[in-house]
């Protein structure tokens, strides 16, 4: 199943609802409780509850309705340092480089305004630029290509930061105590849970094995460790 994002933020009411699902799950440990709660919320399209526990969806229309979840194994936890701070610095650096480039481009544009105007008009009319403007046309083409490259670098840096920050943001989200995860160092913890489940789809039911990836963060704050909650990030 492809990874998708659920952007709805959890509310106090959804935390209560999520807790009710968890309590009603019975045995099987925290992994089984979380996973059963996820499939229960997915079945009823409860986006608010899903936003507190998952970065993926499991649509009853396209993926099926899940019941009879049983955890078969839980892999050893894997840890790595969070890169939110360094990726934020990379975004700032890319933006600064783009800003400096645009200032240089503006100087060139001002110095060659008339020729650039003629080049743009020729390109718009799908005509060759005049011989006197060909050098400017080549230079202006390069300026525009480099501008697109800078914009792409900023976009990629921002995407990487967003990807790294999103799990952290959901993992530690508390309505009464919002946390700016960009200000923290910490670790991302990952574990894979293998389950079997009955999946009903198009009036047929089959037992399916799935590997569900859970992730959470531990942030180092001024007042000590901030221990996030587990989030479902991938279903295979």
Q: What is the pLDDT of residue 18?
A: 36
- Cα within 13 Å of Cα(158), Cβ side: 8
Residue with tokens 């743009």: 120
pTM of the complete model: 0.72
Residue-by-residue pLDDT tens, the chain, 236 positions: 433 333 333 333 333 333 333 333 333 488 999 999 999 999 999 999 999 999 999 999 999 999 999 999 999 999 999 999 999 999 999 999 999 999 999 999 999 999 999 999 999 999 999 999 999 999 999 999 999 999 999 999 999 999 899 999 999 998 888 899 988 999 999 999 999 999 999 989 999 999 999 999 999 877 889 999 999 999 99
Q: What is the pLDDT of residue 176?
A: 87
Enumerate the domain spans of the chain: 12-82+184-235, 84-166
Bridge partners, residue 206, by sequence: 199
> How far apart are alpha carbons 20 and 14 in whole angstroms?
10
d(CA 21, CA 38): 9
Q: What is the DSSP string of the chain?
A: -------PPP-HHHHHHHHHHHHTT-SSHHHHHHHHHHHHHHHTT-HHHHTTTBSS---TTTT-EEEEEEEEEEPPPEEEE--HHHHHHHHHHHHHHHHHHHHHHHHHHHHTHHHHHHHHHHHHTT-PPPGGGHHHHHHHHHHHHHHHHHHHHHHHHHHHHHHHHHHHHHHT--TTS---GGG-EEEEEEEEEEEEEEEEETTEEEEEEEEEEEEEEEEEETTEEEEPPPEEEEE-
> How is domain 12-82+184-235 classified at the CATH fold level?
Nuclear Transport Factor 2; Chain: A, (3.10.450)
Distance of CA 200 to the CA centre of its chain: 29
């Amino acid at each position: 199943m492809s990874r998708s994002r659920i952007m709805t933020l959890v509310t106090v009411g959804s935390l209560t609802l999520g807790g009710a699902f968890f309590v009603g799950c019975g045995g099987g440990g925290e992994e089984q409780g979380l996973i059963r709660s996820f499939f229960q919320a997915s079945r009823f399209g409860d986006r608010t509850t899903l936003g507190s526990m998952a970065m993926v969806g499991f649509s009853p229309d396209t993926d099926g309705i899940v019941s009879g979840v049983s955890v078969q194994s839980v892999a050893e936890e894997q840890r790595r340092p969070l890169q939110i701070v360094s990726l934020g610095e990379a975004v700032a650096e890319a933006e600064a480089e783009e800003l400096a480039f645009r200032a240089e481009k503006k100087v060139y544009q001002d110095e060659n305004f008339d020729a650039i105007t003629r080049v743009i008009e020729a390109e718009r009319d799908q005509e060759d630029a005049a011989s006197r403007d060909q050098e400017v046309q080549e230079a202006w083409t390069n300026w525009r290509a480099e501008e697109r490259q800078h914009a792409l670098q900023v976009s990629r840096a921002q995407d990487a930061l967003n990807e790294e920050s999103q799990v952290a943001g959901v993992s530690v989200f508390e309505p009464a105590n919002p946390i700016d995860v960009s200000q923290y160092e910490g670790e991302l913890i990952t574990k894979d849970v293998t389950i079997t489940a009955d999946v009903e789809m198009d009036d047929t039911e089959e037992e399916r094995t799935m590997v569900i990836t859970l992730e959470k963060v531990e942030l180092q704050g001024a007042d000590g460790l901030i221990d996030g909650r587990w989030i479902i990030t991938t279903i295979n």
